[in-house]
């Protein structure tokens, strides 16, 4: 979060504008991929089924659930973008057809921020002198919408890639026939959970250690529930 306050650095940063981040998509896909796949592994192990079943169900989950997550994220992100475009088109029409009414809105927005008199009128004149700047201001101040949005396709692809990469972790020990595959899967998936949580701390107020442990706890809790259900169902039906 630290950045230079040298005049040139400030100017370059402001002119460049806010950057679009896909970190949340990676974290979202990674956590769900690791949790759901490990929960399946734990459930199958709890039911004392074969390694073949673990690999089949795990692979099916990675592909099907990963695609579902990616499609859902794509749809949600696209809905946000479509909503922004709808509001922007409406605001552009208002600026064209009812400019004085829109100027009054700008005036009231900045009056509420403490501007008055000549300063207020100067701000209104500067903002409304450029229609793009005018509409940008209304989108942020009137509707509370951000100025940048993630690309829906990139969001979906990031989610799918993270889901697959992290979802493979619980299956690796079984695929390569490790001596103690389930115990190794627990350790490997635990590292993935902790790593994801640590990365997630970059956009939260939590420390990397606390965020990592929190995500690890959530993942292990989901796995414990799945293992318990598998064990109970095995006792009841097998």
Q: Does 235 map to a domain?
A: no
What pLDDT is recorded for position 86?
A: 96
- Mean pLDDT split into 10-residue runs, the chain, 238 residues: 60 64 87 88 86 94 94 95 95 96 96 95 96 94 88 95 95 95 93 89 84 88 79 74
Number of folded domains in the chain? 1
pTM equals: 0.81
On whether residue 15 sits in a domain, the answer given is no
Per the CB < 8 A criterion, the answer to whether 140 and 110 are in contact is no
Domain that holds residue 122: 32-45+55-229
Nearest alpha-carbon partner for 149 in 23, 20, 14, 24 = 20
């Amino acid at each position: 979060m630290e950045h230079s306050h040298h005049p040139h650095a400030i100017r370059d940063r402001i002119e460049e504008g806010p950057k679009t981040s896909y970190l949340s998509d990676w974290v979202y896909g990674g956590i769900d991929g690791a949790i759901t796949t490990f929960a399946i592994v734990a459930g199958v192990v709890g039911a004392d089924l074969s390694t073949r079943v673990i690999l089949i169900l795990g692979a099916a989950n990675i592909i099907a659930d990963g695609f579902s997550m990616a499609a859902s994220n794509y749809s949600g992100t696209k809905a946000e973008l479509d909503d922004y475009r709808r509001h922007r088109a409406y605001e552009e029409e208002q600026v064209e057809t009812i400019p004085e009414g829109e100027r009054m809105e700008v005036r009231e927005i900045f009056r509420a921020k403490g501007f008055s008199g000549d300063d207020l009128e100067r701000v209104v004149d500067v903002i409304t002198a450029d229609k793009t700047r005018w509409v940008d201001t209304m989108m942020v101040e009137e509707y509370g919408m951000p100025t940048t949005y993630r690309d829906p396709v990139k969001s979906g692809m990031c989610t799918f890639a993270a889901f697959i990469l992290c979802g493979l972790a619980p299956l690796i020990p079984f695929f390569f026939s490790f001596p103690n595959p389930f115990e190794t899967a627990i350790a490997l998936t635990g590292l993935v959970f902790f790593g994801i949580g640590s990365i997630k701390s970059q956009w939260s107020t939590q420390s990397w250690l606390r965020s990592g442990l929190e995500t690890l706890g959530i993942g292990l809790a989901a796995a414990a529930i799945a293992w318990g259900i598998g064990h109970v169902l095995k006792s009841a039906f097998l």
